[in-house]
Amino acid sequence: MGALAALVVLWAATFGGVPDAEGATLVIHVQTSEGHALPGAVVMAQPLDGTVRKVTPLRAVMDQVNRAFAPDLLVIPTGSTVEFPNSDSVSHQIYSFSPTKRFQLPLYHGKPYPPVHFDQAGVVTLGCNIHDDMVAYLIVTDAPFFGRTDGAGVWSSDVTRGRYRVTLWHPRLRDNEADLERELTVGESDRVELTVRLTKALQPAPLTDRPHSWDY
Amino acid sequence: MSRTRAIAWLTLAAAAVPCWANTDWELDLDARLVSSNAEPSFMEGGLGTTRFSSNDDGLQLGRARLALTQSLGDLLSAHVDASIYDDKDRTPVGVTEAWLLFRPYPFAGYRFRLKAGAFYPPISLENRAPGWDSPYTLSYSAINSWLATEVRPLGIEGTLDWLGTRTGHRFDLGVTAGAFGWNQGTGVVITNNGFSLTDRQTPLFGRVGQPGADPLGGAEPFLQFDHHAGIYGGIELRYLDRVVLRALRYDNRAEPAGDEVTPPNYSQWTRFNTAGVRIEGDHGWTAIVQWLDGETTTVADGVPGGVSSWPFRSEFALLSKRLGRHTISARYDRFTVDSVGAWGYGAQDGHAWTAAWLYDITSHWRMAVEWLQVVSSSSSREDFGGPPLLTETQLQLSIRYSLGSGIY
């Protein structure tokens, strides 16, 4: 039994990450203007050759815990819904005035509210009308391949072969997003890598070590 | 009602609050161990510049506080902040702030808010913790101590904010305007005692000084004598969540009158300009610089043409470092009051150093140690037979217990 398990692990390690004959692995490295890895950047790869791959909408959750959004950034496909349950015992009033989705949501402890439907691609900035220091982002995307860079500033996905537009987003980005768009072709190779380096320094990170009860 | 019974009532009220719907609440109990060589403070009828005097050595009540915030539908909320200070005020429990807030949801990057009630104008960059407390030191700066003692508009305030940081910019901008009454006794403490460094907030319609005890004699700052409404207007500029710059002009527009006209108090025309900046950086650093420059004018009874003015000015600089649960802060205050006109009374000049260490043991318990030294000259003190120049030192150890719907 032990030998069989070892064989399965060996098979998975050897072949598990290799895409089938129709696809390849797209690897995007995101670097700051100083050349350091940028973790947490949103990467979206949109096919340009007319192939449409429908992504199943998600049912995501963005909670409110200790006067903060948890998580404070979600990437969701167009058509997804997000639930805002409020695990705090204090009230929150969530809002967005972003053109992508305008909504207002009074959240009282123990009073669930129906999930919000996001049917248009774009960036949704969320705030709380009671607690000014609360901020979160929803990135709604039509791209079939998306995700966030890991601690090494790398995002990868198995994609079908073809031509792609790769776009980036990060809450601290000062570059014009259009300047960071790249087009590439995933052709014969099984692995296509691209490095995108920002041209401007990131704006300072939000301060995290101050109590939420203080005036912002 | 005794202080102990008052604290018991606050605690009982807090225990009942969780039963109410959509009510956020906070309860704080702050006990102090005090060692001081200061003269009696204005609350004891003296001219000391610190909250606790040499008569107060030992265990003291710092503050017992209950605050309630009740949502009234989605767009309205009500807030009441009640406190007990063991300082012989008229009633043991006093309300320091109480307001109704109309806060429609932001629209297209703009946000409007309307507040009605009794509240502090948006001046302090130091008093940002719940209950208008300072999270850096126990004693407030001279500027904010004076606001806590004498400035509490009762009226309405409108604020319009452009939320640039929520629309891809790095700045937010806000403008505020207020119209108010019941601040026409404001200035009486500056006139008689000058600046002090305290953390006692005069409750609404509360008293300063003790009846029959010079120089204040139990005066009341929160009074209205004529039909003039006071006004203030200010701006606030923010850079991300790191820099806040505030400037404000306040004018209570009172008609100056002596205590023959407004017995037993004085109507004081008090106006000031103030500006300050708070910078917060990485690794827990905070720097605050604030400036306030104003003048109060009243009439000296029995003196022909006896209009007197007291121009006053104060600045402070605070540097604080937050290290996990520890906050270490140092502050330098400078203050001066001139006496111009018939009265010839109440000039003061001084500076103060404050050093404090605050330790959040848990989310409920906080310990703090503060050393405060004030060096001041005072013509009032000299008039009452005291030394013209005095160094007062106050050492406090504080233990505070906090409970509330937002404290886990």
What is the enclosing helix (H) or strand (E) of B3? helix B3-16
Query: Is residue B105 within 8 angstroms of chain A, CB to CB?
Result: yes
- Pick from A20-34, B51-65, B352-366: least confident: A20-34
State the Cα–Cα distance between residues B196 and B354, nearest whole angstrom. Answer: 13
Residue pairs spanning A and B at CB distance below 8 A: 71
Contact yes or no for B241 and A214 at CB 8 A: no
Q: Is pLDDT of A5 > 50?
A: no
pLDDT higher than threshold 70 for residue B69? yes
Asked if residue A135 and residue A64 are part of one domain, the reply reads yes
**Closest approach of A203 to chain B, Cα-based (Å):** 9
Q: Which domain holds residue A180?
A: 23-51+147-197
Kindly list the domain boundaries of chain B, sorted by start residue.
3-404
**Residue A158 resides in a domain:** yes
Task: Work out the minimum CA distance from B166 to partner chain A, whole angstroms.
Answer: 7
From B265, B257, B270, B182, select the one nearest B227 (Cα to Cα).
Answer: B182
Q: Write down the CATH number for the domain with range B3-404.
A: 2.40.160.10
Yes or no, beta carbons of A93 and B135 under 8 Å apart: no
Q: From CA B372, how far away is CA B350, in angstroms rounded? A: 13
One domain for residues A175 and A161: yes
Q: CB neighbours (10 Å) of residue A11? A: 10
pLDDT in tens, A132-181: 889 999 999 999 999 999 999 999 999 999 999 999 999 999 999 899 99
Express each pLDDT in B22-56 by its tens digit: 788 999 999 999 999 999 998 888 999 999 999 99
Chain B residues touching A215 at Cβ < 8 A: 128-129
CA distances from residue B2 to B7, B52, B95, B372, B405 in whole angstroms, order as listed: 9, 20, 17, 30, 28
CB contact under 8 A, A216 and B129: no
Same domain flag for A71 and A127: yes
> pLDDT band for position B13 (50/70/90)?
low
Is a pLDDT exceeding 60 seen at residue A4?
no
Q: Is B103 an interface residue toward A (CB < 8 Å)?
A: yes
Q: Is B128 on the interface with A (CB under 8 A)?
A: yes
Whether A36 and A80 map to the same domain: the answer is no
Task: Tell me which chain A residues have a C-beta less than 8 angstroms from the C-beta of B71.
Answer: 91, 106, 108
Residue B328 vs residues B2, B176, B234: alpha-carbon distances, Å? 35, 32, 30
Assign residue A104 the CATH number of its domain: 2.60.40.420
Instruction: State whether residue A199 sits within 8 Å of chain B by CB.
Output: no
**Cross-chain residue pair B106–A97, CB shorter than 8 Å:** yes
Q: Which two tokens stand for residue B199?
A: 């953390």
More confident residue, A209 or B156: B156
Q: What is the pTM of this model?
A: 0.90
DSSP strands (E only) in B240-306: 243-251, 269-280, 285-299
Q: How confident is the model at residue A30 (pLDDT cuts 50, 70, 90)?
A: very high
What CATH number did the domain enclosing A36 receive? 2.60.40.1120
Q: Residue B9 pLDDT > 80, yes or no?
A: no
ipTM higher than the 0.90 cut: no
Q: Is A85 inside any structural domain?
A: yes
How many domains, chain A? Answer: 2
- Indicate the residue of B108, B284, B406 with minimum beta-carbon distance to A97: B108
Tell whether B364 lies on the interface with A, counting CB pairs under 8 A: no
The whole-chain average pLDDT of chain B stands at: 92
> Do A66 and A104 reside in the same domain of the chain?
yes
The pLDDT of A195-215, averaged and rounded, is 90
CB contact under 8 A, B166 and A127: yes
Domain edge (last residue) among A100, A125, A141:
A141
Residue A44 lies in a domain: yes
CB contact under 8 A, A206 and B241: yes
Q: Is residue A11 domain-resident? A: no
pLDDT-derived band at B163, boundaries 50, 70, 90: very high
Interface test with B, best of A92, A213, A214, A216 (most B CBs within 10 A): A213
Judge contact between B38 and B65, C-beta under 8 A: no
Q: Are residues A106 and A179 in the same domain?
A: no
Q: Give the nearest partner residue to B129 out of A130, A204, A214, using CB atoms.
A: A214
